[in-house]
Structure 1
Amino acid sequence: MPDLNAAPKTAADGAEPWTRREIFQQAITLRATQALLVDEQGAIDAFIAPLLAEPDLRIVLAGAGTSAFIGECLAATLAQATGRRVDAVPTTDMVSAPDLYLEAQTPTLLVSFGRSGNSPESIAAIDLADARVADVHHLIITCNADGALAKRRGDDAYVVVLPEATHDRGFAMTSSFSAMTYAALAIFSGIAAFGDRNERIAQAVEAVLADTETAMAALATRGFERVVYLGSGPFQGLAREAALKLLELTDGGLVTMHDSTLGFRHGPKTIVNDRTLVVAFLSNDPLTRAYDLDLIAELRADKVAGAVLAVSAQDIEGETLRVHGLETAADSDLLFPYIVPAQLFALHASLDRGLTPDTPNQAGTVSRVVKGVRIHSTGA
């Protein structure tokens, strides 16, 4: 297990950023999250099972920013696991246009993700669902026991408060993202069945943490001006999260972009020049992987990009970050080790620019918990 106190990468003042600690604790927090879910399994199953028995149930995965991207990563996987309709709807969309996203007569389970649990949109989304949906229940997954979401109680709600360590102190969400993603995946796929999977995932995360920081730190010094993250299926949401991490931690100093593997050719590929890094998250699914490999081969044959990096659980030629131990795993399991190099690259890109990763925004115009949001009454 990585030693969190060994050879820390420091900011200008010599202090180890909380962001780095929180990246490096993810194997630990993933195991702790599984242990917490096992302890609460009886109560969770008692709440979820009757809802899943409803054939018309709609599950809505909601959050803001990184918490919204959890839904993008998981929606299709959870729909397959539950046999129910699962939609990823950011609270930022739901609050601004509730008539488009809330269905009054459809039985709904609103799954709310929140690191702090205090984002105005997260609270407003629950209130809107209560007011507009006749049959609505709430599963709340949060990292902050003292947040507004954690205080939601009632027969129509179940609150999962994750281990305190997941309540990231750094500006950018890292271990909070992986822990909340894991919690939802396990809850809807079967908590007990995730025991062995959890350990394999945690070991893969440990290996990536131990093996890749030096490479990501070196990559961050290569002077890229644009970085593109690509992925199919659950990795399209992960690509969006990776792009946001880099944008946040470099205070907008790098142009970032995300897209699906096949969608990238349809115009967005014009972003590629000799100062562009392209990172592709490769699927384990044979069909999906074939499309991923085609695009990587094309980008490398073009000889335009500054670098093309594949993140893969299986062997591939060329510049590759190899994730060991999950060669036959479901793509949903790969979300956790795959995000680590993107987090580390963002951390070191921040440090390379002389920024403080825990508070990278020098102008103070963005904050760890969003401010400045006015919740308007409907019809306003």
Structure 2
Amino acid sequence: MTKLLQRDQQAWRDIRGLDTAEEIAQQPALWRELGASLQSRAADVAAFLGGCLHNPQQRVILTGAGSSCYVGEIVADELNAAWPAQVRAVATTSLLTHPELYLEQDAPTLLVSFARSGSSPESLAAVELVRELVADARFLNITCNAQGQLARQGDTDARTFNLLMPAASCDRGFAMTSSFTCMLLAALCTLGRGEWQERLAALAQAGDAALRDWAAPVAALAAKPVQRVVYLGSGPLEALAKESALKILELTGGRVLAMSNTALGFRHGPKSALNKESLVVVFRSSKALSHRYEEDLLQELRRDGVAGSVVTVGADADITVEAPALPDAWLAPLWLLMAQQYALHQSAVLGLAPDNPFADGTVNRVVQGVTIYRHDQF
């Protein structure tokens, strides 16, 4: 029987992890499908955006909650550097609590919402908040669920454009995997500058090789007992480190503690969390300057021996693949394939059900228990 990330399909099914395993493994194929879809809608997207990205007064807010927020954080600086428009990432969870810090009534604003389900209360409330407070607001919904409330509402609004991801990217499993990378790449392709088709094709090819070549070493790494995992990344890869740490927390039901930081920031206190049962994973930047700072930290960690294991991921790393010469934001989905697999195997090692590690319902695939309050009542 064909193996899927080092186990056969029935073995994943037996431990209730098949959905997540398949959704990790399908990503390069979905990136190709996404490329074809974006190409077919390129004229419509361009017409909707018009010349807004060329306007220095234009505000572009990339928003979402949890993993969806990290999508925006990975791409924000790349997009902001490409255009005169002001591009920033702001979580829906911050927009709702402090709208006065981020929104201005007369500033032209494009709210880009990243949403797997499109039905989380914060996503819906953030759109309504911006609609109410900003006179000249428009909305781009990058979502995986055509039946979600966000997409359904956008279908009837002339100021909204729904950009749907491939249907299979709406993960059945608890953790965001395919949805995350598809939405990230969609943002870079549609809001970025220059030709993206060759970049996406090269990334998908590298993804195929990574899934093939990393399956065994990542599974072996996950088989080693660990109490704490630290992911480090610089620039756009800092948000990748956040997403990677969240995957560990989610898929192990919080049994393995995880944190994230930058290579330079890690010395400023967070390093004190390390012990012999800790794993440090450093995402290597494609930028030479960042690479040098990372190298200094790696030498320090290996010299003082305070961590149980130190592993690098990326170009010229312990876990590597022949990758295209692309900026860090573009390479983030590729390196994330390692972190997703590692979290999946950790979940299995701990005897959990990766497709739903929270059988007691304390944490849910679509967040529950949120009460939305009107901003003008306080």
Q: Same fold (TM over 0.5)?
A: yes
Please list, as runs of the form range in 1=range in 2, the aligned pairs for 1:5-24 lying within 5 A after superposition.
Answer: 7-8=8-9, 10-11=11-12, 13=14, 17-24=18-25
Which secondary structure state, in structure 1, belongs to the residue aligned with residue 8 of structure 2?
Answer: coil
How far apart are the structure 2 equivalents of 1:217 and 1:83?
44
Within the candidate set 366, 369, 373, 1:372 is matched to 369
Question: What is the number of equivalent residue pairs in this alignment?
Answer: 373
1:79 maps to a residue whose letter is N
How far apart are the structure 1 equivalents of 2:126 and 2:89?
13
Partner of 2:94: 93
Which secondary structure state, in structure 1, belongs to the residue aligned with residue 138 of structure 2?
Answer: strand
Partner of 1:266: 268
How far apart are the structure 2 equivalents of 1:99 and 1:3?
52
Partner of 2:298: 296
How far apart are the structure 2 equivalents of 1:244 and 1:304?
23
Which secondary structure state, in structure 2, belongs to the residue aligned with residue 138 of structure 1?
Answer: strand
Distance of aligned partners of 1:147 and 1:215 in 2 relative to their CA distance in 1, 3 Å threshold: same
| Range with greater deviation from structure 2 (178-187 or 199-208) | 199-208
1:96 maps to a residue whose letter is T
Give yes or no for contact 1:140–1:157 (8 Å, CA) kept in 2.
yes
After superposition, give the CA deviation of every residue in 1:289-310 in whole Å (9 maximum; x if it has no partner). 1111111111111111111000
How far apart are the structure 2 equivalents of 1:83 and 1:335?
24
Please list, as runs of the form range in 1=range in 2, the aligned pairs for 1:102-113 lying within 5 A after superposition.
Answer: 102-113=103-114
| Structure 1 residue 122 corresponds to structure 2 residue 123 | yes
Partner of 1:28: 29
1:39 maps to a residue whose letter is S
Give yes or no for contact 2:52–2:85 (8 Å, CA) kept in 1.
no
Within the candidate set 192, 196, 199, 2:198 is matched to 196
| Structure 1 residue 324 corresponds to structure 2 residue 322 | yes
How far apart are the structure 2 equivalents of 1:26 and 1:94?
31
How far apart are the structure 2 equivalents of 1:265 and 1:53?
39
How far apart are the structure 1 equivalents of 2:185 and 2:129?
27
Superposed displacement of residue 35, structure 1: 0.8
Give yes or no for contact 2:230–2:259 (8 Å, CA) kept in 1.
yes
Distance of aligned partners of 1:9 and 1:84 in 2 relative to their CA distance in 1, 3 Å threshold: farther
Which secondary structure state, in structure 2, belongs to the residue aligned with residue 261 of structure 1?
Answer: coil
Distance of aligned partners of 1:197 and 1:20 in 2 relative to their CA distance in 1, 3 Å threshold: same
Partner of 1:305: 307
How far apart are the structure 2 equivalents of 1:297 and 1:64?
35
Partner of 1:158: 161
Partner of 2:82: 81
How far apart are the structure 1 equivalents of 2:115 and 2:3?
28
Which ranges of structure 2 fall in alignment gaps of 5 or more residues?
A: none
Which secondary structure state, in structure 1, belongs to the residue aligned with residue 351 of structure 2?
Answer: coil
| Structure 1 residue 347 corresponds to structure 2 residue 344 | yes
Partner of 2:218: 216
1:337 maps to a residue whose letter is L
| Structure 1 residue 146 corresponds to structure 2 residue 172 | no
After superposition, give the CA deviation of every residue in 1:107-163 in whole Å (9 maximum; x if it has no partner). 111000000000000000000001101211111100000001111132211110111
Superposed displacement of residue 212, structure 1: 1.1
How far apart are the structure 2 equivalents of 1:341 and 1:53?
36
Which secondary structure state, in structure 1, belongs to the residue aligned with residue 47 of structure 2?
Answer: helix
Partner of 1:169: 172
1:257 maps to a residue whose letter is M
After superposition, give the CA deviation of every residue in 1:193-220 in whole Å (9 maximum; x if it has no partner). 1111111100111111111122111111
Which secondary structure state, in structure 1, belongs to the residue aligned with residue 353 of structure 2?
Answer: coil
How far apart are the structure 1 equivalents of 2:12 and 2:91?
33
Superposed displacement of residue 323, structure 1: 2.3
After superposition, give the CA deviation of every residue in 1:17-67 in whole Å (9 maximum; x if it has no partner). 200000000001111111111000000001112322322001100001100
How far apart are the structure 2 equivalents of 1:182 and 1:290?
27
Partner of 2:66: 65
Q: TM-score, normalised by structure 2?
A: 0.95
1:130 maps to a residue whose letter is R
| Range with greater deviation from structure 2 (242-251 or 293-302) | 293-302
State the identity %. Answer: 44
2:346 maps to a residue whose letter is A
How far apart are the structure 1 equivalents of 2:368 and 2:120?
8
Which secondary structure state, in structure 1, belongs to the residue aligned with residue 51 of structure 2?
Answer: helix
How far apart are the structure 2 equivalents of 1:15 and 1:112?
31
| Range with greater deviation from structure 2 (99-108 or 53-62) | 99-108
Superposed displacement of residue 4, structure 1: 5.6
Superposed displacement of residue 97, structure 1: 2.0
After superposition, give the CA deviation of every residue in 1:152-209 in whole Å (9 maximum; x if it has no partner). 132211110111000000000000000000000101124x711111111001111111
Q: TM-score, normalised by structure 1?
A: 0.94
Q: CA RMSD in A?
A: 1.7
1:365 maps to a residue whose letter is T
